[in-house]
A and B are shown apart, each in its own frame.
Chain A
Amino acid sequence: MLLRSEGSWPVAGVDEAGRGALAGPVVAGAVVADWALAAPWHGEVRDSKQLTARQRERLYDLIMDGALAVGTGVVDSTEIDRIGIAAASRRAMYEALAALSVEPRYVLIDWFTLPHLRTRQEGVPGGDARCLSIAAASIVAKVTRDRLMNDLDQREPGYGFAAHKGYGTAAHLFCLRERGVSPVHRLTFRPVRLVAGGLL
């Protein structure tokens, strides 16, 4: 996207991770980078959806080194239960943008836009595959969240959070059925209550 010529530079890409999870926080990443100096790993970033956890970790380090600014926002499960997942995921994005040390003049977000953002913005359909800044933000969000889930696994052992990161895998559903909910499960998400209540 040729935004530089329109005086819209620097550009921030934003994406979120953990929206679909049954437990743990929703995490957003925001990345401002100058992609003009092409590097071989940029192509890998673009395929962010197909990456293994290890590849993501490696790219995360490259992004942290190479980007002009990186911000993250974390909204925990208690807050998700209080305000709902849609609002929580938007809040994480606002926080990620606010945490940037370089103020962007244009913001690109995967699919949707943020209603209260003052900066000019654009929701890019399929943005995590089409736009490097969004793809990089997606990697930052995922890696940051994975690390937090590893920490939560220490705090709430027995659910396998380090393995499935709170997503609805068969193993997670099994633990939820056996043990009931933990303090980091999203109680307002009906599937969580149904599984923990032994209804499914």
Chain B
Amino acid sequence: MNHTEVGRRGEEIARAFLKRQGYRLLEVNVRGRFGEIDIVARKGKCHMFVEVRTRTGDDYGTPEESITRQKRDRMVACALDYVARHPELHDAAWRIDVVAVELDGEGRQTRVELIESAVPLD
């Protein structure tokens, strides 16, 4: 699998996983001024902006370890920009989560985990 295929497979797995966990997916692959939000979801009163990080067996480190400082700031920027453009979210509680997906060499899922508030907002 090439890089793009790995990413796409990871996002499929992440979406299915979140739905199983009772999250309602509002939008996927939202492009904005600061980059792309993989998934916008909601559970109860809380909205989440989700970044999917996918790693295969040959990569070093865990998916969540691969998020740089700049990437974190950009995720906050993306979320803020999204909220600014959606008045119905102005008073919503929101957080930025990561879904970590790990695949083996054949593209089979070996791990999927939701890390709530992976990018802390306080």
Residue numbers in B under 8 Å from A168 (CB-CB): 80, 83-84, 90
- CB of A20 within 8 Å of the partner chain: yes
- Complex-state Cα separation, A200 to B79, whole angstroms: 11
Residue numbers in B under 8 Å from A195 (CB-CB): 80
Residue numbers in A under 8 Å from B59 (CB-CB): none
Within A165-200, the residues touching B (CB, 8 Å) are: 167-170, 173, 188-191, 194-195, 199-200
Shortest Cβ distance from B33 into A: residue: A200
- CB of B1 within 8 Å of the partner chain: no
**B122–A20 CB distance below 8 A:** no
**A199–B90 CB distance below 8 A:** no
**B80–A21 CB distance below 8 A:** no
Binary interface encoding of chain A residues 81-120 relative to chain B, with 1 for a CB under 8 A from any of its CBs, else 0: 0001100000000000000000000000011100000000
Binary interface encoding of chain B residues 71-101 relative to chain A, with 1 for a CB under 8 A from any of its CBs, else 0: 0010011011001110111111110000000
Residue numbers in A under 8 Å from B87 (CB-CB): 169
**B34–A173 CB distance below 8 A:** no
Residue numbers in B under 8 Å from A169 (CB-CB): 84, 87, 90
Known contacts A20-B90, A21-B91; 9 additional CB pairs below 8 A are A20-B94, A84-B122, A125-B44, A168-B84, A173-B84, A190-B76, A191-B80, A191-B121, A200-B34
Shortest Cβ distance from B90 into A: residue: A167
Assuming the A-B contacts A20-B83, A20-B92, A189-B122, are A110 and B77 also in contact, with contact meaning beta carbons closer than 8 angstroms in the complex?
A: no
Choose from A18, A21, A110 the contact partner of B45 (Cβ within 8 Å): A110
- CB of B61 within 8 Å of the partner chain: no
- Complex-state Cα separation, A110 to B80, whole angstroms: 24
Select the residue from A19, A125, A200 with max chain B CB neighbours within 10 A: A200
- CB of B105 within 8 Å of the partner chain: no
- CB of A130 within 8 Å of the partner chain: no
**B83–A49 CB distance below 8 A:** no
**A188–B94 CB distance below 8 A:** no
A178 to chain B, nearest CB (A): 15
- CB of A33 within 8 Å of the partner chain: no
- CB of A17 within 8 Å of the partner chain: yes
**A199–B73 CB distance below 8 A:** yes
Nearest first, the 10 A-B pairs at minimum CB distance are: A167-B90, A200-B77, A111-B45, A20-B91, A170-B84, A190-B121, A20-B92, A188-B122, A168-B83, A111-B44
- Complex-state Cα separation, A76 to B51, whole angstroms: 32
- Complex-state Cα separation, A160 to B107, whole angstroms: 51
Select the residue from B83, B88, B91, B94 with max chain A CB neighbours within 10 A: B91
- Complex-state Cα separation, A101 to B22, whole angstroms: 39
Residue numbers in A under 8 Å from B80 (CB-CB): 168, 173, 191, 195, 200
Shortest Cβ distance from B82 into A: residue: A168
- Complex-state Cα separation, A84 to B44, whole angstroms: 20
Residue numbers in A under 8 Å from B121 (CB-CB): 189-191
Binary interface encoding of chain A residues 5-24 relative to chain B, with 1 for a CB under 8 A from any of its CBs, else 0: 00000000000011111000
- Complex-state Cα separation, A87 to B87, whole angstroms: 24
